[in-house]
Amino acid sequence: MSGGVIIKTSMLANSFCHIKGVGDKAEKKLWDEGIHSWEMLLSAGDTSLSKAKRKRIEDELLHSKNALDTQDHAYFSRNLRSSEHWRLFREFKDSAVYLDIETTGLDIGYSTITTCVLYDGKQIKHYINGQNLDQLVPDLQQYSVIITYNGRCFDIPFIEGTFNVKLSHSQIDLRFVLAQLGYKGGLKGCEKQFGLSRDDVEGIDGYFAVLLWREYKKGKKTALDTLLAYNCEDVLNLEHLMHCAYNLKIKNTAFENTHILSIPQKPESVFKADRQLVNQLLNRYT
């Protein structure tokens, strides 16, 4: 293929299942034939594909190549099944952001966002209702991909409803990626299965986050610091889980020896929890 540079360890450039009519079995059959990339198919001799199907696939690969060259994430998320959006990660991780919100409840119509934390692998940004929450959506526009746990069902609809916007980002929801790999039990349950700990915010959950917000509104400043520490822990652990999930998915393909990513070291949270307050609230409400 001419023009642009396709890196050898590009999962997207090794993928065919984003093309209409090419399912998992057909993709695996191509891999088993030694056709591991778009370039290899375009230069291959005879394959198991019919002439008509091969012509259709080759025509679509020209669009695929252009999308990858121009970093058009939407092309791939639009054409891949949502269960395969994990394939976007390596190519778009430099324009991806981990996101988690805390709210006053689960009902979008009656509850509000209290805090939100973003982490792009380099910088942690936080947003607080009543202070800078309105900056959340403008800040999100610098990213292409949003990575969450259960964000498709909760975080993203909540943000869109709160600000009356439609986010155009591609999304990788780790709840579903991890479930396909056999990891369930909520975010914290998955974290434990991967050996992650939460240190000073251990024992805090979504309900407890509501209590912390109430304490903050009563004037307890350390309650807000503790809530943000909890919120921050979610996004920092999402980075670890995303890399682990990606690598586990890769092991189910033909590219285990070339595509595995190194796991980044977890950074320090910029917030510190008031453990004494946490223990007081745990004793009071549990």
Could you tell me the mean pLDDT of each successive run of 10 residues in the chain, 286 residues long?
Answer: 45 94 92 92 87 93 95 96 95 97 90 97 97 98 97 97 97 97 95 90 87 95 96 96 97 91 92 92 83
Spatial contact of 244 and 193, defined as CB atoms under 8 Å apart: no
The pLDDT value recorded for residue 108 is: 85
Residues 6+ apart with CB under 8 A from 21: 53, 56, 57
Determine how many CB atoms are found less than 10 A away from the CB of residue 53: 15
Residue count of the chain = 286
Contact 217, 206 (CB under 8 A): no
Task: Say which residue the tokens 């190519």 belong to.
Answer: 91
* Tokens at 39, concatenated: 């370039």
Q: Are 226 and 237 in contact (CB under 8 A)?
A: no
Spatial separation of the C-alpha atoms in residues 61 and 19, rounded to whole Å: 8
Question: What is the separation of C-alpha 220 from the centre of its chain, rounded to a whole number of angstroms?
Answer: 33
77 DSSP assignment: H
Helix (H, G, I), strand (E, B) or coil at 100: strand
Q: What are the contacts of 224-228 at 24+ separation with CB within 8 A? A: 224/115, 224/128, 225/271, 225/272, 225/273, 225/274, 226/201, 226/271, 226/273, 226/274, 226/277, 226/278, 227/102, 227/114, 227/115, 228/115, 228/117, 228/126, 228/128, 228/271
**pTM, rounded to two decimals:** 0.93
CB contact at 8 A, 148 and 99: yes
Say what the pLDDT of residue 199 is: 80
DSSP state for residue 22 in the 8-state scheme: -
